[in-house]
Structure 1
Amino acid sequence: ANLQGLWNYSLIPPWDSDYHNNINIQMCYWGVEPANLPECYEPLVRYIREMAPAARRITRETAEFKAASGTPAPGWTSRTAQNIFGGQGFKWNKPASAWYALHLWEHYLFTLDRDYLKTTAYPMMKEICQFWESQLKVMNEGGSNFRTEDKKVTPEVVSRDLKDIRAGMLAAPMGWSPEHGPKEDGCAHDQQIVWELFHDTVQAAEVLDVDRAWRKELAAKRDLLVGPRVGEEGMLLEWMIDRKPGSGSWDPHHRHTSHLFAVYPGSQISPAKTPEWAEAARKSLLARGTTGDSRRSWTWAWRTNLWARFLDGRKAYEMIQGMIRYSMMDSLFTTHPPMQVDGTMGIVAGFAEMLLQSHTGRLHLLPALPGAWKDGSVRGLKARGNISVDMAWKDGRVTQFSLSSPAAQSVKVFFNGEEKTYALTPGVAVKER
């Protein structure tokens, strides 16, 4: 699905009706797996595989990716805008291929298709990791080799803000927090995506029991990445430097929430596993503005999913209301303006994420249920582990649910404030009333 999809109405469409990989094409597929439509994911997988050769070629030819010796970078990445013929446009979006890799891994998590993981996903994920292994910058103690294009960042600022950086930590060099701010080392957007790439690829190698020595090295590099950082005001930082609102390089109300990738669609930050980072991320989203940007329909969808991951059904519901009120046409397509399909597709994921979450290693039923939905039921949602979920609720509490999976497994389920463990057997649905 490109920006306007099959419904493009113009011979000269906005942004050439192409594929933008700094969120737009990815958002179109966020809801596919939770909505139990895995066959709809396959075109994205094919797209990634088929455009890789052209991306590989231009990556090898790009000087900024080459080693000091002039050796071309292994693997590949992409510019922000792409088309199916290998065309590339706008700025380099260096983490683009790493973001694609998350989708390759998620398809496995929802289907548990080992043949797909072995023959399709893992080889591409490994190659993308090799690109990033060649690109990461080894930081000096106190970040003394930190680079930025922001002329307001003086050596004194670096010394003050990066005093906790240890020698040997790894940073993505000269990145961008789409689509604003300075170009510099270690922006949160890049760090979080590369962390997710390395983390997921290590898990994939463990599932397949391959590349033992390399996956150990990759896990060590993952752990050396500069991680999420919390500023003086208690917010998750978008850059390594603790910039303040109104500093000229940061728009706190910007439509992109690039520095919150680790909350959604990533999984590095969650209230259950990393409460301090999650609270800082929540404050950062509040600072971004609570209503979304009515000029950009996809911002409502992203923020719906973010608020759902923060377990805040009221705020997530506000985002849905905002999309419908300000950015949705009678056809249910969303405006950008003009018409663009990513918001319509992405809000499907938001609905699913409010009702069922499975990214923390357990199933969480009704994690972000708004008061407006106090009674209801849903059938056919899909959780990671290839688990189908039906459930009903009344007055905000689960009254019954059913779990089924073609794979024998033990699963933890959190509902109504308590956690229980269930053994799933192929062909037999587990029911709780």
Structure 2
Amino acid sequence: MVKPGEKTAQAYFNARGWTASISANIFGFTAPLSSKSMAWNLNPTVGPWLATHIWEYYDYTRDTKFLKEIGYDLIKSSAQFAVDHLWHKPDGTYTAAPSTSPEHGPVDEGVTFAHAVVREILLDAIQASKVLGTDAKERKQWENVLTKLVPYRIGRYGQLLEWSTDIDDPKDEHRHVNHLFGLHPGHTISPVTTPELAQAARVVLEHRGDGATGWSMGWKLNQWARLQDGNHAYKLYGNLLKNGTLDNLWDTHAPFQIDGNFGGTAGITEMLLQSHMGFIQLLPALPDAWANGSISGICAKGNFEVSISWKEGQLEKAIIHSKSGIPCNVRYGDKTLKFKTVKGKKYEITLKGDKLAVL
């Protein structure tokens, strides 16, 4: 996809690097469909979105050999496309134009979805270059663009804006919530690190309602989990099973859509553990329906493997297996713990009084 994606980047956007469109496929097709409406078919930031998965792989595995030999060049060239695609406005800010909120609304100058994806890939490229100790000059450019990228904005209803102007309709129950990319699958909106933006994202989900199928249901489920509302996430998980699952457990959009299956599984994991904010958060969105339970073998960023048990809605213990030997940051509710680890060693975390402790 990268080689044809380079042609798409050059021919359609006069940009370096590579990208793809919403109709991209495994056979190397990366251009928009010329016979279809650009209102839904034009999505220049598909390439950067795909490239964020490369950093995610590294962040979970800490496989530096992969990052150096394969991953970094793909991330770097995707970030180069993102920078070239942006329009440097007279006021000094950068915006993505043209851009769309996929399958919803007009072609616009700087939709929130596009900015959220650009923000993610630039952050990924900056971190990757630091890990490898390379491209310091280009890293400064990425950092400069990032600071001047049009920020998230909150509209008149308290909602996170979807487009460049405040035209959102609170009665619009469209199944897509593209502009919440920064909440999930991205990591730039969180009730812990950006509470005002998280509340604005909640308003969007409340306006859009719970109606969804397939990948859209998966997104909403995960986004409610990221908002740490376990009961609402659990409700959507029930909807997914009741209204969107066939007898063979395939998700039905209709037709079959694997995104729903993957989204449901990811949603369960996000309810029990999150690690996208720079720390491992235990039971961040535990629903009342799961008052007692345990889970084992969840992977967390930093190359940690975590097992958790809880009773009456409270943490009993967590076992954290450090596979790379880096420092570990843990959070449970408002309690935090930071400790050094040794590669290959397991650590038991529990509550001692009102604090987290390593046994």
Distance 1:168-1:417 versus aligned 2 partners, 3 A rule: closer
1:139 to 64, 89, 92: 89
Aligned to 2:5: 55
Deviation at 1:200, TM superposition (A): 1.1
- Select the residue among 96, 112, 115 that pairs with 1:172: 96
* Deviation of 1:115 (Å): 0.8
1:193 maps to which of 110, 117, 127 = 117
Closer/same/farther in 2, CA of residues 244 and 359 from structure 1, 3 Å limit: closer
Which of 322, 343, 347 matches 2:260? 343
Name the amino acid aligned to 2:226.
R
CA distance in 1, matches of 2:240, 2:144: 42
1:221 and 2:145 aligned: yes
Take 1:408 and 1:58, find their aligned partners in 2: how far apart are those partners? Answer: 42
State the partner residue of 1:356.
Answer: 273
User: Residue 321 and residue 125 in structure 1: after superposition, are their counterparts in 2 closer, same or farther (change >3 A)?
Assistant: same
Q: Does 1:367 align with 2:317?
A: no
Determine which of 200, 204, 211 is the counterpart of 1:292. Answer: 211
Runs of 4+ in 1 over 6 A off after TM superposition: none
1:372 counterpart letter in structure 2: A
1:112 is the counterpart of 2:62: yes
Contact 1:292–1:303 (CA<8 Å) still a contact in 2? no
Q: 1:221 to 1:370 in 2, by over 3 A?
A: same
Partner of 2:176: 256
Q: What displacement does 1:54 show?
A: 1.7
Distance 1:122 1:208 in 2: 9
CA contact (8 A) 1:404 1:424 kept: no
Q: In 2, Cα distance between the equivalents of 1:87 and 1:99?
A: 16
* Cα drift, residue 304 of structure 1: 0.9
Matched residue type, 1:245: D
1:79 aligned onto 2:31: no
Structure-2 separation of matches of 1:244 and 1:260: 14
Structure 2 residues not aligned, in runs of 5+: 34-40, 351-359
- Equivalences for 1:37-56 in 2 at 5 Å? 51-56=1-6
Q: 1:431: which partner in 2?
A: 348
Asked if residue 234 in structure 1 is aligned to residue 158 in structure 2, the reply is yes
- Say whether the 8 Å CA contact 2:17–2:81 is kept in structure 1: yes
Q: Quick check: 376-385 or 91-100, which moved more?
A: 91-100
Q: Is the 8 A contact 2:274 2:300 kept in 1?
A: yes
Higher relative contact order (CA 8 A, sep 6+): 1
Deviation at 1:128, TM superposition (A): 1.0
Q: Partner amino acid for 2:347?
A: V
The one of 282, 292, 299 aligned to 2:202: 282
Cα distance in structure 1, aligned partners of 2:214 and 2:335: 36
Residue type of the partner of 2:23? A
**Within-5 A mapping of 1:354-433:** 354-433=271-350
CA distance in 2, matches of 1:132, 1:424: 37
Instruction: Please give the TM-score of this superposition, normalised by the length of structure 2.
Output: 0.92
Moved more, 180-189 or 237-246: 237-246
Which amino acid is the alignment partner of residue 263 of structure 1?
A: L
Q: Verify the 8 A CA contact 1:99 1:193 in the aligned structure 2.
A: yes
Q: Which letter maps to 1:83?
A: N
Secondary structure at 1:292 match in 2: coil
1:372 shift after superposition? 0.6
In structure 2, how many angstroms separate the alpha carbons of the residues matched to 1:223 and 1:107? 26
Helix, strand or coil at the partner of 2:21? strand
Is 2:305–2:323's contact at 8 Å kept on the other side of the alignment? Answer: no
After superposition, the C-alpha distances for 1:20-51 in whole angstroms (9 at most, x for unaligned) are xxxxxxxxxxxxxxxxxxxxxxxxxxxxxxx2
Note if contact 1:301-1:343 (Cα within 8 Å) is conserved in structure 2. Answer: yes
Q: Which amino acid aligns with 1:230?
A: I
**For structure 1, which segment, 188-197 or 408-417, has the greater mean C-alpha deviation from structure 2 after superposition?**
408-417
Conservation of the 8 A alpha-carbon contact between 2:291 and 2:310: yes
SS at match of 1:124: helix
8 A Cα contact 1:397 1:416, kept in partner = no
Question: Cα 1:129–1:399, aligned 2, differ >3 Å: closer, same or farther?
Answer: same
Query: Shift of residue 404 of structure 1?
Result: 1.0
Partner-residue secondary structure (3-state), 1:81: coil
Preserved CA contact (<8 Å) 1:110 1:385? yes
Deviation at residue 416 of structure 1 after TM alignment: 4.9
2 CA distance for matches of 1:59 and 1:138?
Answer: 18
Contact 1:398–1:416 (CA<8 Å) still a contact in 2?
no
Residue in structure 2 matched with residue 129 of structure 1 by the alignment: 79
Find the residue that maps to 2:42 and give its secondary structure: strand
Q: How far does the alpha carbon of each residue in 1:287-340 deviate from its partner, in whole angstroms, 9 at most, with x for none?
A: 111x232xx222211111100100000110011011111111111101111122
Alignment: residue pair count? 342
Read off the aligned partner of 1:120 and give its amino acid letter: I
Instruction: Write out per-residue CA displacement over residues 147-166 of structure 1, whole angstroms, 9 at most, x where no aligned residue.
Output: xxxxxxxxxxxxxxxxxxxx
Q: 1:95 aligns with which of 28, 45, 52?
A: 45
User: 1:39 aligns to what?
Assistant: none
* In structure 2, C-alpha distance between the alignment counterparts of 1:137 and 1:427, rounded to whole Å: 47
Give the CA RMSD over aligned residues: 1.4
